[in-house]
Amino acid sequence: MDKADLYSTFNRKAPATPAEALRVLLETLEQRVGSLARADTAAALEIPALFDQAAALLAQLQARGVELPAEQGRFESLSAQYRGKAALFLKRIGGAAVLAEQRAARQPEPAAWWWSVDLALAAQRKAALRRQLRWASGALALLALAGLIYTRFFAPTPVERALYRYQFTAADLAGAGEVAAALEQVEQALALDPGNPEFLTMKGVFLEALADPAAEAAHRAAEQAHGDSESYLIMRGQLEVQLERWEAVQGTAEALLATRADSAFAYLYRGMAEEALGNPAQARADYERAGELAQAQQLHEIYVTARTLLANSMQSGPW
């Protein structure tokens, strides 16, 4: 980068030295980043280019053996402030698509991270979403296990104790991604209780996750064992959520809605799938509906889960 490029930002007499030019650049950057909430599009879009120039001057001076700890500190502080205001920056310039266009035209070096704050912010949001959905999956799993404990753990028979252990272990293995090992636990449970609807449902979901053609027959057997489609689909959806098989969750939610149009479970499952697949607007609508239905039906755990996911999704802002 030549001196004309380095100094093009300023409508003033060119600084006498590169160090002085760096200080002027940092001062301008401080003004731009500090007033970002009030900046227009043009002013906000200058920020990555200013970072380019400041970084280039710092590199030039360091290559000459010039130590400028105060200026280096200011640059690092401004970098931290800019990262913290990434969402605001994208809003002021008109969205992530605008920065992507600028980046494509500029072709910056990989080290010029200030041209890629949209990608970093998207990664952060996806990581947060993954944590939220895992929390919800865990909440649903705990709800299912609580029912199992209530019905089986008090004065259980030896067979019931064994079935509880198999189900707990299978759920734990499946949550860790060890679906084949989880299926082994299910098969051992079914050897004790061949018609158990819970284990038959687990078998169908695990076989499908493993792309085993026997899954379809297992699903049919599970639905027959449950005795009604709604309870079967509720459990199937819960297991698919635990495995984060979001396309499968969508299909199960739609089947559940076809069985019962006011199913709070169906809207909750579909909302989680839509959000995981990048459709936050639909997800929020589904969370809202799931909460309304759960409240009316006194499904307190589902209500809390739906409202929590809705609040977290709203806080994350638009994608």
pLDDT tens, 90-137?
Answer: 989 988 889 999 999 989 988 899 999 888 877 766 666 666 666 666
- The string of pLDDT tens digits covering residues 251-295 is 999 999 999 999 999 999 999 999 888 888 999 999 999 999 999
Residue 73 pLDDT: 92
* Interior/surface letters 4-43, b for 16+ CB within 10 angstroms, e for the rest: eebbebeeeeebeebeebbbbbbebbeebbeebeebeeee
Cα-Cα-Cα-Cα dihedral sign, residues 253, 257, 260, 262: positive
Reply yes or no on whether the pLDDT at 63 is more than 50: yes
* Res 146: pLDDT: 55
The predicted pLDDT at position 229 comes to 94
Q: Among residues 36, 158, 134, which one has the least CA distance to residue 93?
A: 36
Global pTM?
Answer: 0.58
**What is the tens place of the pLDDT at every residue in 211-264?**
999 999 999 999 999 999 999 999 999 899 888 899 999 999 999 999 999 999
Q: What SS3 string covers the chain?
A: CCHHHHHCCCCCCCCCCHHHHHHHHHHHHHHHHHCHHHCCHHHHHHHHHHHHHHHHHHHHHHHCCCCCHHHHHHHHHHHHHHHHCHHHHHHHHCCHHHHHHHHHHHCCCCCCHHHCHHHHHHHHHHHHHHHHHHHHHHHHHHHHHHHHHHHHCCCCCHHHHHHHHHHHHHHHHHHCCCHHHHHHHHHHHHHHCCCCHHHHHHHHHHHHHCCCCCHHHHHHHHHHHHCCHHHHHHHHHHHHHHCCCHHHHHHHHHHHHHHCCCCHHHHHHHHHHHHHCCCHHHHHHHHHHHHHHHHHCCCHHHHHHHHHHHHHHHHHCCC
Tokens of 280: 């936050």
Rounded to an integer, what is the distance from CA 224 to the centroid of its chain?
35
Q: Tens of pLDDT along 164-208?
A: 889 889 988 988 889 999 999 999 999 999 999 999 999 999 999
Q: What is the C-alpha to C-alpha distance for residues 53 and 31, in angstroms, rounded to an integer?
A: 15
Number of alpha carbons in the 13 Å side-chain half-sphere of residue 37 = 3
What long-range pairs does 206-211 form, CB within 8 A, spacing at least 24?
206/174, 206/179, 206/182, 207/183, 208/245, 208/248, 209/179, 209/243, 209/245, 210/179, 210/180, 210/183
CA 66, CA 268: separation in Å to the nearest integer?
60
